[in-house]
C-alpha cells in the first residue's frame, strides 16, 4: 500500500498529516477545504512504480497509489470495467479514436462503487462502526451495497425524487433510508448534521477525501488499457464534481510518477439546467473567485441534478490543470445520447451516464475537439437505474395476440 505523505487542502494548500482529519481543512471549511491525498510522487518517478496483479481484476491493483490496502476491502468487486472501442462512430464523427469506459458494470451499477470501495476500506481501517451519505441516488445505493457486504449499518439521505430503482436498491441492501422532502442539496446538509451528531462515517462527495481516491482509478484503467498512452480528450458528466476531479487527478498522478508523458484534456459535461461547476470554471478563467458555486438544479438527469456542488473547487482546479474545461448540454441532447449509446454501442446508460456523448457532439460542433482527436467517454451509471429517463420519444412496443399472422402484420 502507498502510504500517503499527507492530506492537502485544495483551498489554502496546507498539508496535514495523513488521517489527521477525516473530512475537511478546519480553516477553510466546506467546498474550499476539501482535502487531497498526496503521495511521494518524486520517489515513484525515481524508483519506478509497478501495479501488481493482486487478486481479481479490480482497483486494488493500483495499491501503490491508494491510501488503504486491499486487506481492508470488502469482497464486492470495484474497478476492472471494460473499455470499448467504437471505430464506426469514431469514423462518422471524424475522430481518430473513440472509446467508452463502461463503469455501469459495477456491483451496484455505477462508477460510485470506486469511491465507495476505498471509503469503506478506510472506515474499516479506522474502525468506524457505521456509514452514511447523502446522494442523488447512485452514491447512496453504492454505499448501501458495500456496507451490506461489510456487515455494518448504513444511513442514507436521498431527495424524495430519487428514481424508484435506486430507492429499491437501498431498501434491498437493508440501509436505513431517509427520503428527504427537499432537494439533494438539502439532503446533503441534513446528512452532514446527522453524521456529526451520531458519529457516522460520511461518504458524501466533497466531504470525504477517500472518494476521489477511488474515482481516480477509472483514469488509471483507461491509460493502462491504452498501453500508457493517454487519449487527447476525456469526457465525464459532472454533478458535485468528485468524479471529474478524480479522473483528472488520476491522469495527473500517472504523469507525475512517470508512467505517461501527458494528460488528456478532461472535459466535464453538465446539464444546462444544473451547471454550477461549469459557471465556477468560467469565473476561474476570468480571474474571479470560484466560490461560492451555486445555481439552479433542473434536469432529467437526476444523478447530476445538483445546485450546490460540494466538490466544485477541486473539480475546476483539477480540470483546469489538464487544459480541459466544461460544457453544458440540454435535456433533449442527453436523451438523444441515451438512445444513441444504446443503439450504436449496446450500452444502456442512465441520462447522466450518456451525457458525455452529448457533450462530445457539442464540443465537436464548437471546434473545441478537433477532427482526428482520440476521445474517451466515461459512462458512469446504468440505464436500469432510471429506465424511463432516456426513453422520451420512443414508442412502447405493441401487444399482439399469440398468433404468427399478428407477427406478419406487425412486420408490415
Q: Where are the alpha helices (DSSP H) in 286-350?
A: 312-321, 331-345
Instruction: Report the residue number, 24 or 276, with the smaller CB distance to Zn ion.
Output: 24
Query: Smallest distance from the beta carbon of 256 to Zn ion, in angstroms?
Result: 22
Q: Are 28 and 12 in contact (CB under 8 A)?
A: yes
403: helix, coil or strand?
coil
Query: Smallest distance from the beta carbon of 199 to Zn ion, in angstroms?
Result: 24
Query: Smallest distance from the beta carbon of 108 to Zn ion, in angstroms?
Result: 33
Instruction: Report the residue number, 21 or 125, with the smaller CB distance to Zn ion.
Output: 21
Please enumerate in sequence order all residues whose Cβ is within 8 A of that of 311, keeping only pairs 6 or more positions apart, or say none. 31, 34, 205, 206, 212, 240, 241, 242, 245
Q: Between helices 312-321 and 242-256, what is the axis angle to 10°? A: 40
Alpha-carbon span 96 to 155, nearest angstrom:
46
DSSP per-residue codes, 169-192: HHHHHT-EEEEESS-HHHHHHHHH
Query: Smallest distance from the beta carbon of 245 to Zn ion, in angstroms?
Result: 16
Instruction: Report the residue number, 11 or 241, with the smaller CB distance to Zn ion.
Output: 11
Instruction: Report the residue number, 25 or 154, with the smaller CB distance to Zn ion.
Output: 25
Q: Are 161 and 182 in contact (CB under 8 A)?
A: no
Please enumerate in sequence order all residues whose Cβ is within 8 A of that of 117, keeping only pairs 6 or more positions apart, or say none. 58, 59, 60, 73, 74, 76, 78, 79, 146, 214
Query: Smallest distance from the beta carbon of 367 to Zn ion, in angstroms?
Result: 38
Instruction: Report the residue number, 25 or 76, with the smaller CB distance to Zn ion.
Output: 25
Instruction: Report the residue number, 11 or 214, with the smaller CB distance to Zn ion.
Output: 11
Angle, vertex CA 80, rays to CA 78 and CA 85, nearest 5: 135
Alpha-carbon span 98 to 82, nearest angstrom:
14
Query: Smallest distance from the beta carbon of 207 to Zn ion, in angstroms?
Result: 14
Query: Smallest distance from the beta carbon of 13 to Zn ion, in angstroms?
Result: 7
Q: Are 284 and 316 in contact (CB under 8 A)?
A: yes
Angle, vertex CA 113, rays to CA 110 and CA 116, nearest 5: 140
Query: Smallest distance from the beta carbon of 9 to Zn ion, in angstroms?
Result: 3
Query: Smallest distance from the beta carbon of 91 to Zn ion, in angstroms?
Result: 48
Instruction: Report the residue number, 37 or 377, with the smaller CB distance to Zn ion.
Output: 37
Query: Smallest distance from the beta carbon of 134 to Zn ion, in angstroms?
Result: 22
DSSP code of residue 43: H
Alpha-carbon span 64 to 72, nearest angstrom:
15
Instruction: Report the residue number, 12 or 126, with the smaller CB distance to Zn ion.
Output: 12
Please enumerate in sequence order all residues whose Cβ is within 8 A of that of 107, keeping only pairs 6 or more positions apart, or say none. 76, 77, 78, 113, 145
List contacts with Zn ion (CB under 5 A). Answer: 9, 11-12, 25, 27-28, 33
Alpha-carbon span 284 to 282, nearest angstrom:
5
Polymer length in residues for the chain: 412
Instruction: Report the residue number, 33 or 163, with the smaller CB distance to Zn ion.
Output: 33
DSSP code of residue 372: T
Instruction: Report the residue number, 33 or 214, with the smaller CB distance to Zn ion.
Output: 33
339: helix, coil or strand?
helix
Amino acid at each position: 500500500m502507498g502510504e500517503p505523505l499527507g492530506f492537502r487542502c485544495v483551498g489554502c494548500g496546507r498539508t496535514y498529516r495523513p488521517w489527521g482529519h477525516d473530512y475537511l481543512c478546519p480553516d477553510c471549511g466546506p467546498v474550499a477545504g476539501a482535502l487531497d491525498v498526496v503521495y511521494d510522487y518524486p520517489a515513484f518517478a525515481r524508483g519506478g512504480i509497478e501495479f501488481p496483479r493482486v487478486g481479481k481484476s479490480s482497483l486494488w491493483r493500483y495499491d501503490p497509489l491508494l491510501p488503504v490496502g486491499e486487506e481492508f476491502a470488502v469482497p464486492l468487486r470495484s474497478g476492472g470495467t471494460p473499455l470499448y472501442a467504437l471505430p464506426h462512430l469514431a469514423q462518422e464523427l471524424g475522430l481518430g479514436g473513440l472509446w467508452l469506459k463502461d463503469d455501469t458494470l459495477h456491483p451496484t451499477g455505477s462508477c460510485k462503487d470506486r469511491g465507495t470501495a476505498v471509503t469503506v476500506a478506510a472506515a474499516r481501517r479506522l474502525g468506524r462502526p457505521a456509514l452514511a451519505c447523502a446522494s442523488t441516488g447512485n452514491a447512496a445505493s453504492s454505499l448501501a451495497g458495500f456496507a451490506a457486504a461489510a456487515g455494518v449499518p448504513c444511513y442514507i439521505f436521498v431527495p424524495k425524487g430519487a428514481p424508484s430503482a435506486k430507492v429499491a436498491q437501498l431498501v434491498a441492501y437493508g440501509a436505513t433510508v431517509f427520503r428527504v422532502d427537499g432537494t439533494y442539496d438539502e439532503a446533503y446538509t441534513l446528512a452532514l448534521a446527522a453524521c456529526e451528531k451520531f458519529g457516522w462515517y460520511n461518504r458524501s462527495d466533497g466531504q470525504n477525501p477517500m472518494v476521489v481516491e477511488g474515482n481516480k482509478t477509472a483514469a488509471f484503467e483507461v491509460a493502462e488499457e491504452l498501453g500508457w498512452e493517454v487519449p487527447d480528450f476525456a469526457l465525464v458528466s459532472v454533478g458535485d464534481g468528485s468524479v471529474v476531479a478524480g479522473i483528472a487527478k488520476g491522469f495527473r498522478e500517472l504523469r507525475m510518477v512517470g508512467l505517461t508523458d501527458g494528460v488528456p484534456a478532461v472535459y466535464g459535461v453538465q446539464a444546462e439546467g444544473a451547471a454550477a461547476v461549469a459557471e465556477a470554471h468560467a469565473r476561474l478563467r476570468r480571474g474571479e473567485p470560484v466560490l461560492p458555486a451555486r445555481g439552479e438544479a433542473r434536469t432529467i438527469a437526476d444523478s447530476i441534478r445538483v445546485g450546490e456542488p460540494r466538490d466544485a473547487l477541486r473539480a475546476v482546479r483539477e480540470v483546469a490543470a489538464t487544459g480541459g474545461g466544461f460544457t453544458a448540454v440540454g435535456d433533449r441532447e442527453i436523451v438523444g445520447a441515451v438512445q444513441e449509446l444504446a443503439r450504436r454501442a449496446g450500452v444502456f446508460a442512465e441520462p447522466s451516464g450518456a451525457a458525455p456523448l452529448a457533450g462530445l457532439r457539442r464540443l465537436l460542433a464548437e471546434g473545441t475537439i478537433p477532427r482526428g482527436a482520440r476521445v474517451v467517454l466515461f459512462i458512469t451509471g446504468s440505464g436500469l437505474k432510471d429506465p424511463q429517463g432516456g426513453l422520451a420519444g420512443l414508442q412502447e412496443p405493441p401487444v399482439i395476440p399469440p398468433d404468427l399472422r399478428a407477427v406478419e402484420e406487425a412486420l408490415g
